[in-house]
Each structure stands twice: as structure tokens, then as C-alpha cells.
Amino acid sequence: MKKFFLFSILICLGVYAAFAQTGTKERIKVRSAALAGNLIGDPADRDVTVYLPPSYQANPNRRFPVLYMLHGFTDNDSQWFGWENHWINLQTVIEQSIAEGLSKEMIVAMPNAYNRFKGSMYASSATIGDWETFVTKELVRHIDANYRTLADRSSRGLAGHSMGGYGTLRLGMKYPDVYAAIYALSPCCMDGAANTNAELMTKLEGFTLDQLQTATFFEIATLATSAAFAPNPQNPPFYLDLPAKNGEPRQDVINKIIANRTLNFVDQYIPNLKKLKAIALDAGLQDRGISEATKKLHEVLESYQIPHFYESYEGDHLNRIAERIRTKALPFFSKNLLFQPEPFSEVLENGGTGSYPAVMVSEASLPTHTVFKPQDLSKFGDKNKLPIIAWGNGACFDSPWEHVNFLNEVASHGFLVIAIGTMPKQTEVRSKSQKLLDAIDWAIAQNADPKSPYYQKLDTKKIAVSGMSCGGLQTLEVAGDPRITTVGVFNSGVLPNPGGGMPGMPQVTKAQLNNIKVPTLYLLGGKSDIAYGNGMDDFARINHVPIFVGNLDVGHGGTYGQAHGGEFARVATHWYKWQLKGDKEAGKLFTGKTPGLSKSPGWVVEKKNMD
């Protein structure tokens, strides 16, 4: 019986070990122009620990979201990641969470914010340097450039403990275009007055640089606070102002310090907080001061009706942080960050009606988009190359889910169609117009890469940019790119008041219509189309390039979801054949005194500069 029991235990341990795969960590140096020249003389070359999950090495085609973790005051990245003994080993925490099925694999990066004052507060001043720029821009840029990241805000998270929790809130609400989700664990420094204790102030006034390393916690914390929020370039050797001098409080310095308490500036950043996809904060009930302040912040967010996760739990400032990261924070980011979808390939509607049956696929080298292409690429190359079409979706969604029949049908006629976003739809976050240009960049790079299946099979001189509704505005926003051969604007048009649209909509103006340099097609859904007035006004204003507008009374939704994309797919395909392949027969639908499309049931057409 004992042998059987022991055998069972060994089996269980073996199963656990099989799932508890280990990743790798590396400590790198990142050069920061933003920190260079700080008055206190801290190095601009900063240590950063980067954790790479188990699949990073095993699957070289896979890309990962990035969680930026910020450590607390007097800590550093080396301690947190187990390079030296400490109260936490973040790598162990991460891998236990993955092994238990609580979280997904992601890259985790932690900068070393330990400076001469044992903590930067993740703030910016002449004394300590511009930590905000380093963390939110320089570090992100370096990680995206050197690791296989999903280089988009929707795949970036920010979290931190104590001073790092303060930094998470500070940077998260200031830079919502960098991060999608934030989690503050026991965040410090959110309320309270400046420390003006007379005995402490007198001692600090006589401090020397040599005394920094042996300073008590409250001594160094007071200096760090002033260095971050009350710098003074004329006051060496610490280049800061203390909140009291000669036994008297200095109200101007006190004001600077308390202005940087989270609860004192959060109201100014409510619009930014609403841009974040997800917010979380927690603190232990026995974490005196911090627990109460965290609850106050929770109440502020509630008063502004900002969705968020908040929890107050049994614990102090340290004793359950590893557990909270493992069971709460990492699962939170696993839910709220955008991950690379599993590779897929799907044939829609028997591949379409064209001569080249198409397939919808994800591409590991472009995980932020969905590609529609002919199934058999061997038929292309030399004289028969695939023109490129970049597509923006309705509502600027980060998924082409509403347009797949349409896009698949176009691809079946010998085009490479690259749509913004992933399938299936994963997020409500609006995409950016830049993703249209990202699609073009990717296609050109693939055509030049001997290892790519698209190598020398694409016609990089024949490129269309098109989009529906909000995606049409994205198209107009990038229409001046000199690589573009033709433009398609469907169920869309520039609003008379660019700021009057839905949140996230490109702020395109009527003046930007002059950026169009190539033949342009507008397809609208008739007078019942909400974009009809704007689209027809665009048509009236565009007099400098060939332009064609077709109206079919189907409303704003067009015919994209109909079998093979319906009439809109038929017309758009003819346009692409004409403009991108020189197919004059297809062009007859748009040319001549009586364009062929005008003879099709229901279509009303107008054109300018076409013949």
C-alpha cells in the first residue's frame, strides 16, 4: 500500500513538473536619453530584467503581450526577479500562475528604479531625470524593437507594488495610449501631507551624500519625495527643497509635494482613465494608510462611473503580494490584454467565385491583421503578381468580422487583402489608421524576403487602401501615402465636425481630401445610409482626381454580409481589377458616357475626371 501511495505521489509530481515549464530571464542595459544629465548623477544606462515565457524559445513565430512591472521603494529589479534573495521571486510567481492555469504566457519587463534616493517615484524632475519618458516611451520602444512583442497598446499592461503601484496609477492615467490595462497593488503616496517634522528636517538639512546609504527609511523617503516633486537646480548637493527650513514649514514646497498625491490629481485625468480598457487596485486591510487611500480612490472611480476591480483583503503591505500577483494580477492581464490568436486557416464560401479560390488566414509575422489570399500561391510570380489591398473595418473595429465574405470574394479574383485586426473578434478597442500602413509595410517586406511564401509574388507598385464607415475615414487619413495606387471609401465620408463622431474615430477634416492623389471610388448605401450626406459632400469637393460614386439603396450596412459580399463586392472587385490590374473590360463598369454600373438594377452613379 505504501509503495502504491509513493508511486501515486511521484506520478502527480511528474505531471506537475510537466506543466510547470520554465521560461528565461535576462538582465539588460537600456540607454536613456531622458535620464541623461540628471543633477544627482545617476547613470542613464538602466538595468532592466526581462522575463521570457516558456513558449518564447520553443515557438519562434509567436509574439507576446508585455506586462511592465514597477517595483517598490528601496527595492530593485534584481531582488524581484531572484537575482538575489528577497521576499519575492517574480519568475517563480509567474510560472506557478501559468502552471496552475490561472494566467497566459506574456513577456514581463521590470526597470530598475533604484537611484541615489533608493526610488524614483517614477516621476520626472531635473534632479532625478525624466522617468516618465523612460518608462512609457524609451523602455517600450526598446522592448518592442528587441523582443517578439505584440507592439500595440492593446497588448501592453502596467502594474506595480507600493511605489510601483503609485507609478502605475500616475503613468497609467497620463499615458492611456501606451497601455490598455493597469493594476496597482498596495499603491503608496496617494494622500497625506508633506513631512515637516522639525527634528527630521534639521537632520536632513545637514545631510551629506555619504549619508544617503545609511539613512533611515523616513529620512531617505523624505529626500526621494522632494527630489521627485520639489527639485531645485540651485541647491546642491541634493538639488531639492525640503518642506521645511530652519524649523519653519515652506508652503510652496509643501504644495508641490501634495499636488503629486494621486487623490489630489486624479480628477484631472478622468477622461484618460476612461480610455483604459481595464483598471484594478487592491490593498491589505492591515496596510495602514494605504488601505484607506486605496478605498478612497475606488470611491472616486465609482463616482465617475469608471468600471474597475477593487478588493480589500486580509493582509499587510508585503505578506500576500506574491499571492495577489499570482491569483489576481496575472489573470487580470490574461483577460484584458490582447494575445496573438492561435494560427488559423478557414475557407469561406468555397473560396469565392473568382478564378483563384481564397482562404482567410492569420500570419505569425503579422498577428495584428487578418489576411485573405488565393489558396494556391504557386500561380503567382513573374508576370502574374498579386496586387495589395489594405482594409479598414466598420466602427474601426480591430477585427474584419463584419466583412469576411466581401474580403474573401475580392481575394478570390487574384488579390492579397490585408484587413486590420484579428479573427475572431477579441476586443472592442478601436484600431488606429496606422495599421493600414503597417499592412503595406508588411506586404512589401514579405515580397522582398526569400523565406516568405509571398516572395516576389506581390505587385508592390499596385496598392489599394479601402475601408468601410470608420474604416473609410482611416483610409482617407492615410490616403496621401505615395505608395497608394487607388482609394476606396465605402459607406463613409468626412464629418463636417470631425470631433462629432464616436470615440476613437479618426479626426479627418474636409481639407484632407486634398491629400488624395489617385483615382478614388466611393460606394454608398443611398439616402438611408447615415454616411450618404458626408460621402456625397466629399464627392462634390474632390475635383482634382478621377472619382466615381455609386449609390445602392441598402443603407449603411452595405452588402458585405451577403453571399460573396453582394453587389458591393462585385463593384469593388471590378474597380480593383481595373485600377490594379489594368483590366479595361472591368473598367467599363465605370467609364464611358453611360457607365456599365448605371445599367445595373438599383445603382445610381456619378463621376468626374474619369474619361
Confidence of residue 331 (pLDDT cuts 50, 70, 90): very high
Grid cell for residue 75: 527595492
My answer on whether 226 and 367 are in the same domain is: no
User: How far is it, in rounded angstroms, from Cα 399 to Cα 397?
Assistant: 5
160 pLDDT exceeds 70?
yes
Confidence of residue 428 (pLDDT cuts 50, 70, 90): confident
Averaged over 393-421, what is the pLDDT? 97
* Residue where one domain finishes, among candidates 206, 231, 260: 260
Interval 526-564: pLDDT, tens: 999 999 999 999 999 999 999 999 999 999 999 999 999
User: How far is it, in rounded angstroms, from Cα 95 to Cα 16?
Assistant: 12
Q: Where are the alpha helices (DSSP H) in 412-457?
A: 434-448
My answer on whether 165 and 199 are in the same domain is: no
Confidence of residue 167 (pLDDT cuts 50, 70, 90): very high
User: How far is it, in rounded angstroms, from Cα 423 to Cα 407?
Assistant: 13
Task: Return the closest-CA partner of residue 278 out of 102, 427, 95, 64.
Answer: 427
Judge whether 221 lies within some domain. yes
Judge whether 520 lies within some domain. yes
My answer on whether 267 and 317 are in the same domain is: yes
Interval 239-287: pLDDT, tens: 999 999 998 999 999 999 999 999 999 999 999 999 999 999 999 999 9
My answer on whether 466 and 398 are in the same domain is: yes
Judge whether 3 lies within some domain. no
Q: Are 376 and 356 in contact (CB under 8 A)?
A: yes
Please state the domain count of the chain.
3
Supply the pLDDT for residue 308: 97
My answer on whether 411 and 508 are in the same domain is: yes
Q: Give the 3-state secondary structure of residue 447.
A: helix
User: How far is it, in rounded angstroms, from Cα 510 to Cα 506?
Assistant: 12
My answer on whether 360 and 410 are in the same domain is: yes
Q: DSSP of 385-421, one letter per residue?
A: -EEEEEEE-GGGBSS-TTTHHHHHHHHTTT-EEEEES
Domain holding 81: CATH number? Answer: 3.40.50.1820
Judge whether 313 lies within some domain. yes
Q: pTM for the full model?
A: 0.71
pLDDT over 70 percentage in the chain: 97
Domain that holds residue 99: 20-192+263-336
Supply the pLDDT for residue 344: 86
Confidence of residue 407 (pLDDT cuts 50, 70, 90): very high
Supply the pLDDT for residue 8: 40
Judge whether 153 lies within some domain. yes
My answer on whether 81 and 160 are in the same domain is: yes
- The overall average pLDDT reported for the chain is 94
Averaged over 568-584, what is the pLDDT? 98
289 pLDDT exceeds 90?
yes
Averaged over 318-323, what is the pLDDT? 97
Q: Give the 3-state secondary structure of residue 459.
A: strand
* Residue where one domain finishes, among candidates 336, 366, 387: 336
My answer on whether 416 and 491 are in the same domain is: yes
Q: Are 166 and 229 in contact (CB under 8 A)?
A: no
Q: Are 70 and 167 in contact (CB under 8 A)?
A: yes
Averaged over 482-490, what is the pLDDT? 98
My answer on whether 224 and 144 are in the same domain is: no
7 pLDDT exceeds 80?
no
Judge whether 6 lies within some domain. no
Confidence of residue 425 (pLDDT cuts 50, 70, 90): confident
Q: Who's near 430: CB < 8 A, 6+ residues apart?
A: 395, 396, 397, 398, 470, 503, 504, 505
My answer on whether 484 and 571 are in the same domain is: yes
DSSP state of 317: S
The secondary structure element, H or E, covering residue 91 is: helix 90-99
My answer on whether 255 and 352 are in the same domain is: no
Supply the pLDDT for residue 16: 38
Judge whether 8 lies within some domain. no
User: How far is it, in rounded angstroms, from Cα 381 to Cα 132?
Assistant: 49
Count the Cβ atoms, other than its own, within 10 Å of residue 479: 24
Interval 38-88: pLDDT, tens: 999 999 999 999 999 999 998 888 899 999 999 999 999 999 999 999 999
* Residue where one domain finishes, among candidates 318, 336, 354: 336
The C-alpha R_g of the chain, in whole angstroms, comes to: 29
Angle subtended at Cα 419 by Cα 413 and Cα 420, rounded to the nearest 5 degrees: 175
Interval 16-34: pLDDT, tens: 333 457 999 999 999 999 9
502 pLDDT exceeds 90?
no
Packing angle, helices 198-205 and 217-229, rounded to 10: 70
Judge whether 13 lies within some domain. no
Interval 432-478: pLDDT, tens: 999 999 999 999 999 999 999 999 999 999 999 999 999 999 999 99
Q: Are 434 and 442 in contact (CB under 8 A)?
A: no
13 pLDDT exceeds 60?
no
Q: Are 385 and 373 in contact (CB under 8 A)?
A: no
My answer on whether 274 and 415 are in the same domain is: no
User: How far is it, in rounded angstroms, from Cα 102 to Cα 148?
Assistant: 23
Interval 93-150: pLDDT, tens: 999 999 999 999 999 999 999 999 999 999 999 999 999 999 999 999 999 999 999 9
Q: What string of H, E and C letters represents the secondary structure of 104-170? A: CCCEEEEECCCCCCCCCCCCEECCCEEHHHHHHHHHHHHHHHHCCECCCHHHEEEEEECHHHHHHHH
Burial class (CB within 10 angstroms; exposed 0-12, middle 13-18, buried 19+) of 525: buried
